[in-house]
Structure formats: C-alpha cells, structure tokens
Amino acid sequence: MQTLYYIPALNTTEHIASMLSDIGPEKEILFGEYGAMLPLAAPAAGAMNGGKRFIEIILSNKNRDLAAASLVSAAQLGFDGVVIASGVFGKNEGMGKPVYDLDPSQALMLATTLRKQKTLPETFTIGIRTPTGSGAAHERARFFIENGADFLAVPEGASIPEFEDKTVIIKEYKR
C-alpha cells in the first residue's frame, strides 16, 4: 500500500515550506483544506517540486459548481491528482448553513466525467476518502472502484482487504 503524507491545514507560505522541508522532497503529499489558506495556494509556496502532489477537495460548504472549479483549477495548477472527501462536519455556535450539495459518490462521477471529457488530464488521479469497518462501508468502497476511482484513501490503521491494491494510507503530518 502506498502512503500519502497529509498536511491538513495550510496557514502561510512559510509554514508550508517548512513542513515540506520536514517531510522530505520525494514524498507524495496531500494538501488539505482545514487551514486559513486553500490548498490551491500551495504552488505559491514552491510545493510542487519533488514527489507527487495531491489536493484534498472537501465537499462540505461547496456547491457542485465550486467543486468542479476546484478540480479543474487543481489540474491546471499542476497537482497530480485529488482526494475527494465529504469533510468534517462542524458544529459551531453562529455557524453558517452547512452545504453538502454533492456527496463523495456524486463528486466522483463529476471528476470522472471531467476526465472523460478531457477537461481534466487523462493522467489526473482521482482518489476518494473511503469509509471502512462495516458492510455498508465495504459496499461503498466497491462502488467507488467500479465507478472510476483510482484509489481508496483510508487513515492509518484502517484497511479494505478486498481492495488492498487500490488502497492508499493517509498519514497525517503532525509537528
């Protein structure tokens, strides 16, 4: 199984550069959306040199138009692929209305369609955060593979035995 080093939150370009230096140049890295900066800004911090670079597209608080724009922008900015996720559901006082216009399966269909249409390059890799640990989760993993996902992303300690060759471990980078 491959490993993607996950940086969940990007806050400043200096912060990104220093984390990349810690992780090492040849590692495959997944940039998350939980910081002050969008991961689309990672190239501005010189993040694209070295191993493959992936961007996490969380679907919470994006409608389908923004999800599509994020996918296309990621490819145009040189990312090698994407990891689709529904995203962590926040419960904060005074929060805005949560938006889940697309679920991961629907976003997968969107991404594979964009790739078929050549709006995304054929080499653009589509991964998806995949539930594990129950029959329902396992069947959903099967759906993802049967519908064009290139890999199933799971956290450290989780596995999907039937699709081991398609599974990528997300190793969260902690400082």
Partner 1 sequence: MIVTEKKDLNRIQALLKDRNNIIIVGCSECAAACQTGGSAQVKEMAEHLTGKNILATISIEAPCDKRIATRDMRRIQEELENAEALVALTCGSGVQALSEVTGKPVIAALDTSFLGMVERLGKFYERCSHCGDCMLNDTAELCPVTLCPKGIRNGPCEGIEGTLCEVFPDKECVWHRIYETLKERGQGDLYLRYHDATDWGKSHLPREVIWEKK
Which residues of this protein are in contact with partner 1, per CB under 8 A? Answer: 60, 64, 85-86, 88-89, 91, 98, 100-106, 109, 129-131, 133-137, 139-140, 142-143, 147
In angstroms, give the least distance from the CB of 18 to partner 1: 29
Residue with tokens 């400082």: 175
Mention every residue, 6+ apart, whose C-beta is less than 8 A from residue 68.
110, 114
Of 22 and 103, which has the nearer Cβ to partner 1?
103
Secondary structure letter of residue 100 according to DSSP: B
Write out the DSSP string of 8-67. Answer: --B--HHHHHHHHHHH-TTS-EEE-S-SSB-GGGGGGGTTTSSS-EEEEEE-TTB-HHHH
Of 19 and 82, which has the nearer Cβ to partner 1?
82
In angstroms, give the least distance from the CB of 105 to partner 1: 4
In angstroms, give the least distance from the CB of 67 to partner 1: 10
Of 44 and 109, which has the nearer Cβ to partner 1?
109
